[in-house]
Chain A
Amino acid sequence: MIKSFRGGIHPNDNKRYTAGMPIEIALLPKKAIISVRQHIGAPCSPIVEKGDLVKKGQVIANSEAFVSSPVHASISGVVIDVAEYPHVVFGKCLSIVIENDGLDQWIEGIPLARDWEKLNENEIKDIIKDAGIVGMGGATFPTHVKLSPPKEKKIDTLIINAAECEPFLTADHRMMLEYSEKILIGVKIVMKVLGVKKAYVGIEDNKPDAVCVMQKAFAGTTVEVVAIPTKYPQGAEKMLIKVLADREVPSGSLPMDVGVVVQNIGTVIAIYDAVLNGIPLIQRVTTISGSAVKEPKNLLLRIGTTFEEAIENCGGFIEPPAKIIMGGPMMGFAQSNLKVSIIKGVSGILGLNKKDINNGTQSPCIRCGKCVSVCPCGLNPSMLSILGEKDMYEEAKLEQNLFDCAECGSCVYVCPAKRNIVQYIRYCKMKNTVDAAKKKEALDK
């Protein structure tokens, strides 16, 4: 038995909607709205103008910054607009709109065939950077940065995150079943770049078929495929490292501080495509699911496809949804409309009905302690929410480890008083950050 992490919850995983649905290639979008902020880090600047003809795989926005990642055209066609459009995370963002010419033509030189074993680490890293690869689990941190840890940090272990602990999502699950060959090579490439001998693939044990396929694929390698206990938030980097490598990332530190790099399974597949075939990140597998969606599916979607068109691929809605979520129901972002488009980190689009999101009304804390026992970060969420309610955000930071909260939402899920604990925590963090910025400004003067 593998020792699990402290705390965590067991929500209904609702994966039955799509777990058995093979990945389906979505219809080409009529137009692609491609945001220049597909990632964490510096936004890109458009390098095409209205009226330009672009081809699939062509770089359309770029940045000089190291912590950034170029953006490619996901379809061929004409640039019809470069302006602000709705964005799944930032509300609004500068985007490049391409009208599809229906030809789906690659730009010259793609795809190609390369022997990855002849490439050295830096060449591979450059390919990954140029292909615009970012963390596809949802964090969208540029992958080439993650693969370039400072020299003083000795990395000895690679962990492939295939836990997929968010309810509803099955994209990673399907990819493991269908792209095992790519995953095998992709993991080997990443191990070469990092110079590590040991790797783990962590899969929650509610996906026994995926565990089986992966174990077969990695048989005879130094990569250990581990079925880990199903428990949210198992897919959180720190929890995964704790369970697989038995290392606890110290508060305020990064996985590389304990010698570990974590990569998502989707990212590994994107690395395979880029390194072997020169294909940049222009599409991804996304789970379209939820009680309001007519035919839930796992779709291979082009970046820039609007939510509207993605859901049309699934036959639309059975009933008007009450909430549209980008990502999973525990940590995803609610969307106000369907005009938003897919960015590289969209692992799921959920349409939930009223019953699913019945959140009840908040009442005072009855100190039942459920939140304390489920908090994987070892905090007292009850106290944090009370401090937030009373606007005592400084005390929350100084005495209750405010900034150690990963906002996984486990406390909110279990709270019988239906308290908006994470919301209060976010408020406290924001107030402290604003205060710190003000203080710094005053000092600078």
Chain B
Amino acid sequence: MSEIKSQENLFTISTSPHIRSEESISKIMWTVNLALTPAALFAIYHYGTSALIVLLVGSLSAVGFEYLVQKLRKKKITITDGSAFLTGLLLAMCLPPMIPPYMAIIGSFIAIVIAKHSMGGLGYNIFNPAHIGRAAIMVSWPVAMTTWTKLTPSVDVVTTATPLNILKQQGYANLIHTFGSAPQMYKAMFFGIRNGSIGETSTVLLMLGGIYLIYKGYVNWQVPVFMIGTVGILTWVFGPVGLFTGDPIFHMMAGGLIIGAFFMATDMVTIPITKKGQVVFAIGAGALTVLIRLKGGYPEGVCYSILLMNAVSPLIDRLIKPVKFGARR
């Protein structure tokens, strides 16, 4: 009784609700990092130390820049929440393995300082920071961004090009020839034994991570399914020798589509907030990817198509709102 009296007026007062889930931003961000780990580890196995260095430099410099910006702006330091690390890691995974590490650092600077913090920091950026970083490096050092390692996809061929490059420059027949046969090509693309950016090659491991995120509820399945599906359908319809002659299986696994659809087009901050809006976003990004791949000057278009769709996300949110309860009938 006396105990109770001595406690009075010490209770916390606030309005409801009084309980919250265990969910937090850092939990989400580190889970996404974890989901990327298998593909990153495969990249180190596949490309060797050069890939390891780019991955480390990219992610750690991003964390460093975040710390500096927050220190300069006299904001709370939030480097442990995993979001800067994730941006750096994603950026590094979208760079070629042979790229000089200082370029990765500049990319991180552009991603964190310009794309993220000049907009107001986490939650306020319009564009996917990792992709802004990649696009900046792409226009600054196009040669470094398109120099690939020597790879032996089949017994009698040595190539220093990505599959999409071969397709763009030499055509579909030569692409098949490079890998020996179509099934062999699909197998190589599925397991990631091909040229490409550090983290984009292993379809199976990226999908594994992506499915884990869907299971955890951090990714809506609609986004990867509709984006990859759109690319598949459109590349099949608009084939090289007339309608319905394309190779959708190749296109769905090629380039940065898998990593883009599972990890970039699902970046919560820069995509529409409703599921319906996200479907529109995903279809748009898929269609733009195909447009760039088939008609553009670049062999690959995932990065630019996602950035372009980022720009229209606020508009999609304005047009597609949730339907309120009691408004249907």
| Residues in chain A within 8 A of chain B (CB atoms) | 5-6, 9, 11, 167, 238, 242, 248-253, 308, 311-312, 316-317, 320-325, 329-339, 352, 356-360, 363-370, 372-373, 375-380, 382-383, 401, 404, 407, 409, 412-418, 422-423, 426
Shortest Cβ distance from residue B18 to the other chain A in the assembled complex, whole angstroms = 4
Using Cβ atoms and an 8 Å threshold, which residues of chain A touch B12?
A: 322-323, 334, 357
- Interface contact B19-A413, CB-CB below 8 Å: yes
Residue of B nearest to A331 (CB): B16
B170 adjacent to chain A (CB < 8 Å): no
- B268 adjacent to A380 (CB under 8 Å): no
Give chain B residues whose Cβ lies under 8 Å from the Cβ of A412.
17, 20
Q: Are B322 and A379 in contact (CB under 8 A)?
A: yes
Complex CA gap A167/B18 in Å reads 11
**Cβ distance B5 to chain A, nearest Cβ, rounded Å:** 9
Known: A334-B13, A366-B122, A366-B268. A416 touches B27 (CB 8 A): yes
With a cutoff of 8 Å between Cβ atoms, the chain B residues found around residue A322 in the complex are 11-12
Residue of A333, A359, A364 touching B124 (CB-CB under 8 A): A364
Please give, as numbers and ranges, the residues of chain B lying within 8 Å of A409 by CB-CB distance: 16-17
Cross-chain pairs A/B with CB under 8 angstroms, 23 sampled = A6-B325, A11-B19, A250-B326, A311-B4, A320-B7, A329-B19, A336-B11, A357-B19, A363-B78, A364-B121, A365-B123, A367-B271, A369-B278, A377-B324, A377-B325, A378-B327, A380-B274, A380-B322, A401-B324, A414-B21, A415-B23, A423-B15, A426-B15
Within 8 A of A (CB), among B170-212: none
B329 → chain A, closest Cβ, in Å?
6
Given A320-B7, A330-B16, A418-B20, are A368 and B28 also a contact pair (CB < 8 Å)?
yes
Inside 8 A of A359's CB, which chain B residues have their CB? Answer: 14, 20
Nearest residue, chain A, Cβ from B324: A378
Report A-chain residues with C-beta under 8 Å of the C-beta of B278. Answer: 369
CB within 8 Å for A253 and B4 given contacts A370-B23, A414-B21 = no
B8 at the interface (CB under 8 A from A): yes
Q: How many residues of B contact A (CB 8 A)?
A: 48
Interface residues of B in 287-329 (CB under 8 A from A): 321-329
CB atoms of B325 and A404 under 8 A apart: yes
Contact in complex: A422, B16 (CB < 8 Å) = yes
B1 within 8 A of A: yes
Among A251, A332, A366, A375, the residue within 8 A (CB) of B18 is A332
Q: What B residues does A334 contact at CB under 8 A?
A: 11-16, 18
Q: Which residue of A lies closest to B271 (CB)?
A: A367
Contacts of A369 in B (CB 8 A): 220, 268, 273-275, 278
Q: Are A316 and B3 in contact (CB under 8 A)?
A: yes
What residue of chain B has the Cβ atom nearest to residue A399's Cβ? B321
Query: A423 to chain B: which residues have CB within 8 Å?
Result: 14-15
- Rounded to whole angstroms, the CA-CA distance of A352 and B78 in the bound complex is 30
Report if A238-B326 is in contact (Cβ < 8 Å); known contacts: A322-B12, A367-B269, A422-B15: yes
Minimum CB–CB distance for A79 against chain B, Å: 25
Residue in A closest to B273 when the chains form the complex, CB atoms: A369
CA distance A249 to B324 in the complex (A): 11
In the complex, whether B143 has a CB less than 8 A from a CB of chain A is no
Q: Known contacts being A311-B4, A324-B11, is A375 close to B17, with CB within 8 Å?
A: no
Residues of B within 8 A of A (CB): 1, 3-4, 7-21, 23-25, 27-28, 78, 120-124, 217-218, 220, 268-269, 271, 273-275, 278, 321-329
Q: Which residue in A11, A251, A373 is a CB contact (below 8 Å) of B324?
A: A251
State whether A367 and B123 are in contact (beta carbons under 8 Å apart), knowing that A253-B326, A379-B322, A404-B325 are contacts in the complex.
yes
B273 touches A364 (CB 8 A): no
B31 CB → nearest A CB, Å: 11
Q: Within the assembled complex, what's the spacing in Å between the Cα atoms of A372 and B220? A: 13
The docked-state distance in angstroms from the alpha carbon of A337 to that of B9 is 5
- Given A316-B4, A337-B9, A382-B273: A251 in contact with B268 (beta carbons within 8 A): no
Give bound CA distance, A69 to B183, whole Å. Answer: 79
By DSSP majority rule, is chain B's interface helix, strand, loop, or mixed? loop
Indicate if the CB atoms of A321 and B274 lie closer than 8 Å.
no
* B78 CB → nearest A CB, Å: 8
CB distance from A291 to the nearest CB of B (A): 11
Can you name the residue of chain B whose Cβ is closest to the Cβ of A232? B17
Alpha-carbon gap, A205 to B95, bound state (A): 52
Please name the residue on chain A nearest to B318 by beta carbon. Answer: A399
Q: Is the CB of A331 within 8 A of B17?
A: yes
Q: A338-B4, A367-B123, A367-B269 are in contact. List 10 more A-B contacts (CB 8 A).
A: A5-B325, A316-B1, A322-B12, A330-B19, A363-B123, A369-B220, A372-B274, A378-B327, A379-B324, A423-B14
Q: Which residues of A contact B24 (CB under 8 A)?
A: 360, 416, 418
Q: Closest A-chain residue to B121, C-beta based?
A: A364
**A65 and B17 alpha carbons, distance in the complex (Å):** 33
Q: How far is the CA of A382 from the CA of B321 in the complex (A)?
A: 12
Residues A167 and B327 in contact, CB atoms below 8 Å apart: no
Q: Is the CB of B8 within 8 A of A337?
A: yes
How many whole Å from B37's CB to the nearest CB in chain A? 21
Chain A residue at smallest Cβ distance from B329: A248
The answer to whether A378 touches B25, judged by C-beta atoms less than 8 angstroms apart, is no
Q: Collect the chain A residues with CB atoms within 8 Å of residue B28's CB.
A: 366, 368, 416
Contact B325 A414 (CB under 8 A): no
Measured in the bound complex, the distance between the Cα atoms of B268 and A370 in whole Å is 10
5 closest A-B pairs by CB: A409-B17, A364-B123, A251-B326, A378-B324, A368-B268
Bound Cα distance A362, B246 (Å): 50
B34 to chain A minimum Cβ distance, whole angstroms, is: 16
| Given contacts A251-B327, A320-B7, A372 and B273 within 8 Å (CB-CB) | yes
User: Given known contacts A322-B11, A334-B18, A360-B24, is B323 in contact with A378 (CB within 8 Å)?
Assistant: yes
Q: Would A404 and B326 count as touching, CB distance under 8 A?
A: yes
Taking CB as reference atom, which chain B residue is nearest A373? B275
Q: How far is the CA of A366 from the CA of B10 in the complex (A)?
A: 34
> In whole angstroms, what is the CA distance A333 to B78 when docked?
33
User: B17: which A residues are within 8 A, CB to CB?
Assistant: 329-331, 409, 412-413, 422
Task: Judge whether A11 and B21 touch: CB under 8 Å.
Answer: yes
The residue on A at minimum CB distance from B15 is A423
Chain A residue numbers with a CB within 8 Å of B124 are 364
B325 & A376 in contact (Cβ 8 Å cutoff): yes
Name the CB-closest residue of B to A321.
Answer: B11
Say which residue of B4, B13, B25, B328 sits within 8 Å of A366 (CB atoms): B25
Chain A residues with Cβ below 8 Å from B120 are: 364
Residues on B with C-beta less than 8 A from A333 are: 16
Distance from A90 Cβ to chain B, minimum over Cβ atoms (Å): 14
Note all chain A residues with C-beta closer than 8 A to B3.
Answer: 316-317, 320
CB distance from A121 to the nearest CB of B (A): 30
Closest Cβ of chain A to B321, distance in Å, is: 6
